[in-house]
A = this chain, B = another copy of it.
Amino acid sequence: MVPHLTTALSGPLLDLEKRILYKMPDIEHWFRTQWLDHSAPFYASVDLRNSGFKLAPVDINLFPAGFNNLNPDFISLSVQAATIAIEKVCPEAHRLLIIPENHSRNTYYLRNVIELTRILTAAGLEVRIGSISPEITEPTTLETPDGHTLLVEPIVREGNRLKLKNPELGDFDSCAILLNNDLSGGAPELLENLEQSLIPPLHAGWQTRRKTRHFSAYRDVATEFAQFLGIDEWLLNPYFERCDDIDFNARTGENCLAEKVDELIAKIKVKYTEYGITQDPFVIVKANAGTYGMGIMSVKSGEEMLGLNRKKRNKMSTIKEGQQVTEVIIQEGVYTFENIDEAVAEPVVYMMDHFVIGGFYRVHTNRDANENLNAPGAHFEPLAFESPCGLPDCTGEPDTVPNRFYAYSVVARLALLATTIELEETDPLNQ
């Protein structure tokens, strides 16, 4: 079962999917050439939006959770891709320490860590889980409702190495450390100046990343790709603006915000008119650094940003781990026109190294097409992609399942490419 688009594809997106399908070997060659110059992150997931007239990424996560939501039939694709990723980043590594999120007791998240461990073990690593959460003070076995268990151990720093100390299992000193913790709360000193390879590097955390930097790199990548494909880059690229020096509680920066929202709406409207799209344009206002969909608003005019009540201001001003929001991105909203049983569905595409290994839909029954599906309390049902993304059916219609997934894999990899450029720009070694 795969979501169907409310509006059958007929307009620009169908044309886009046709071109993507037709140019498949050229596109793969284009990517291959790109990856000669750039190194993909170890892993990533990309949130896509498919509006029927536009297919665009809205976020990329460099510490992806949700591996448990992928189709178990294709887990061997993940193992193969993980093998390659390991060969590139730490070929001689025997042991790998995974640092999970601090809320590793969360059942859904726990299942993700278990699945990730399974993949990396099959790819040839001895894996143990070391927590930097102050709650984990001794080796702790966590259990999921479906009977899986995971041993989480406290991390000990000795000199410039992170280790596990466990009289029962033996100590653990790994060559490489995999972060599955997005450092929204800032990078702890514990992780600085390590001898061991830290994957991804520290500057991939939200203490350094900015969404605007990513989407600026994405705009360049999408523009180049659109030229190569002979299409309007807007079909792949969500417009955005940025506001700094915001303090929602002190009501600083509201006017700037309202102004830029209106400017962006006007810019989108031109495109909607050009393509005969009758929906109202909208934008998403969210923290420029951070994740987990806290501090997010969907608005249709700048006015809505003025005179926010206390509750909304509180919501906008704080993101995960209590961080204050001072910079926001105003991003073109892309309607979600994919539905399952009238529930809105948003595709999430997973990658290891530069390979798409699968994905799933976030299916949400209580949200509208212009709302964010990855928000606190936004409980979603995962629906695994029913087939891999790498094998389009060139003899089928452009909007058949494998072909739509192939289009997703292309756009997700454009976002991945943008991320590598973003990370090159912020790499301390390149400063």
Residues of A within 8 A of B (CB): 24-29, 31-33, 35-36, 73-77, 79-81, 83-84, 86-87, 91-94, 121-127, 355, 388, 390-392
The 4 closest A-B pairs by CB, nearest first: A28-B124, A76-B388, A29-B124, A76-B390
Q: Which residues of B contact A123 (CB under 8 A)?
A: 28
Q: Which residues of B contact A86 (CB under 8 A)?
A: 32
Q: Which residues of B contact A125 (CB under 8 A)?
A: 25, 28-29
Per the bound structure, the CA–CA distance linking A388 and B25 in Å amounts to 26
By DSSP majority rule, is chain A's interface helix, strand, loop, or mixed? helix
Copies of this chain, whole number:
2
| Minimum distance in angstroms from A128 CB to a CB of chain B | 12
B392–A32 contact, CB under 8 A? no
| Minimum distance in angstroms from A254 CB to a CB of chain B | 49
Q: Which residues of B contact A93 (CB under 8 A)?
A: 29
> Considering residues A29, A76, A84, A93, which has the most beta carbons from chain B within 10 angstroms of its beta carbon?
A76
Per the bound structure, the CA–CA distance linking A29 and B33 in Å amounts to 29
Per the bound structure, the CA–CA distance linking A155 and B121 in Å amounts to 47
Q: In this complex, what residue of B is CB-closest to A127?
A: B25
A124–B77 contact, CB under 8 A? no
Identify 4 new A-B residue pairs, CB closer than 8 A, beyond the known A25-B127, A28-B124.
Answer: A31-B124, A32-B83, A32-B86, A76-B390
Q: Which of B79, B124, B355 lies in contact with A32, CB distance below 8 A?
A: B124
B28–A390 contact, CB under 8 A? no
Q: Which residues of B contact A79 (CB under 8 A)?
A: 390-391
| Minimum distance in angstroms from A30 CB to a CB of chain B | 8
Q: Which residues of B contact A355 (CB under 8 A)?
A: 80, 83
Per the bound structure, the CA–CA distance linking A93 and B76 in Å amounts to 27
Per the bound structure, the CA–CA distance linking A275 and B36 in Å amounts to 52
A91–B32 contact, CB under 8 A? yes
B75–A391 contact, CB under 8 A? yes
Per the bound structure, the CA–CA distance linking A28 and B122 in Å amounts to 8
Q: Which residues of B contact A388 (CB under 8 A)?
A: 76
Q: Which residues of B contact A25 (CB under 8 A)?
A: 121, 124-127
| Minimum distance in angstroms from A390 CB to a CB of chain B | 5
Q: In this complex, what residue of B is CB-closest to A123?
A: B28
Per the bound structure, the CA–CA distance linking A222 and B33 in Å amounts to 38
Per the bound structure, the CA–CA distance linking A390 and B74 in Å amounts to 11
> Considering residues A74, A77, A79, A124, which has the most beta carbons from chain B within 10 angstroms of its beta carbon?
A124
Q: Which residues of B contact A75 (CB under 8 A)?
A: 391
| Minimum distance in angstroms from A431 CB to a CB of chain B | 29
A27–B124 contact, CB under 8 A? yes
> Considering residues A31, A91, A127, which has the most beta carbons from chain B within 10 angstroms of its beta carbon?
A91
A122–B390 contact, CB under 8 A? yes
| Minimum distance in angstroms from A320 CB to a CB of chain B | 33
Q: Which residues of B contact A31 (CB under 8 A)?
A: 124
Per the bound structure, the CA–CA distance linking A92 and B31 in Å amounts to 11
Q: Which residues of B contact A27 (CB under 8 A)?
A: 124
| Minimum distance in angstroms from A174 CB to a CB of chain B | 12
